[in-house]
């Protein structure tokens, strides 16, 4: 059974994961608008991943006898100044999400809620990957600078990303 405080915190995290999906979909739309379909593909896959994160929290709340209550999702930004600015935004966002997950773990430990702590450990590992994968693109974009050819090649690379449901190979 979840405490009321934990139930509310997990509901807040469902909202944050859905906002993440919305943010990355907005970034996908931005990349489509500047004809970088590979970058858009990367962001679309990221959107799908965020939806699975939200669903994991949703299922867990019910599994533990809680109640999911969905709130309004904030509107994401409409545009970014450059591909680098968008990926820097993605990286910063993931760092914020990591901090939220850490806060949830702290709450679980405070409440001696070992089941929730155990559940959250998947997200602790996932956030390491989430930060690293966004930062990897940031670093490549910094190296490329304004070279159109490099952007074109990176667009092809990012276009090859495919979606793997959590818990499957290549996650």
Q: What is the closest distance, in whole angstroms, from the C-beta atom of residue 139 to ligand FEO in the complex?
A: 18
Structure tokens, 99: 């901090």
Residue 94 binds ligand FEO, judged by CB under 6 A: yes
Tell me which residue has its CB nearest to ligand FEO: 53
**CA–CA distance, 158 with 148 (Å, rounded to integer):** 15
Q: Applying CB under 6 A, which of residues 27, 36, 97, 107 lies at the interface with ligand FEO? A: 97
Residues 17-46, one symbol each (x = binds ligand FEO by CB under 6 A, - = not), give x--x--------------------------
Which DSSP string corresponds to 7-61? HHHHHHHHHHHHHHHHHHHHHHHHHHHTT-HHHHHHHHHHHHHHHHHHHHHHHHH
Q: What is the closest distance, in whole angstroms, from the C-beta atom of residue 53 to ligand FEO in the complex?
A: 4
**CA–CA distance, 104 with 122 (Å, rounded to integer):** 12
**Residue indicated by tokens 């970014």:** 80
Number of chain residues interacting with ligand FEO (CB under 6 A): 7
Residues 120-149, one symbol each (x = binds ligand FEO by CB under 6 A, - = not), give ----------x-------------------
Residue 88 binds ligand FEO, judged by CB under 6 A: no
Structure tokens, 140: 């490549």
**CA–CA distance, 121 with 22 (Å, rounded to integer):** 24
Q: Which spans of this chain sit near ligand FEO (rule: CB under 6 A)?
A: 17, 20, 50, 53, 94, 97, 130
């Amino acid at each position: 059974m979840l405490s009321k405080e934990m139930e509310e915190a997990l509901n807040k995290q469902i909202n944050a994961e859905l906002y993440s999906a919305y943010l990355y979909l907005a970034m996908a739309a931005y990349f489509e608008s500047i004809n970088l379909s590979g970058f858009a593909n990367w962001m679309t896959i990221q959107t799908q991943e965020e939806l699975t994160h939200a669903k994991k929290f949703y299922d867990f709340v019910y599994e533990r006898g809680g109640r999911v209550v969905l709130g309004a999702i904030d509107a994401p930004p409409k545009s970014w100044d450059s591909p680098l600015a968008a990926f820097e935004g993605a990286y910063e966002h993931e760092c914020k999400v990591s901090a939220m997950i850490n806060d949830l773990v702290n709450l679980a430990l405070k409440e001696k809620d070992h089941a929730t702590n155990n559940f959250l450990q998947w997200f602790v590992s996932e956030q390491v990957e989430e930060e690293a994968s966004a930062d990897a693109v940031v670093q490549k974009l910094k190296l490329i600078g304004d070279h159109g050819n490099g952007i074109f090649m990176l667009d092809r690379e990012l276009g090859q990303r495919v979606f793997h449901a959590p818990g499957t190979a290549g996650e």
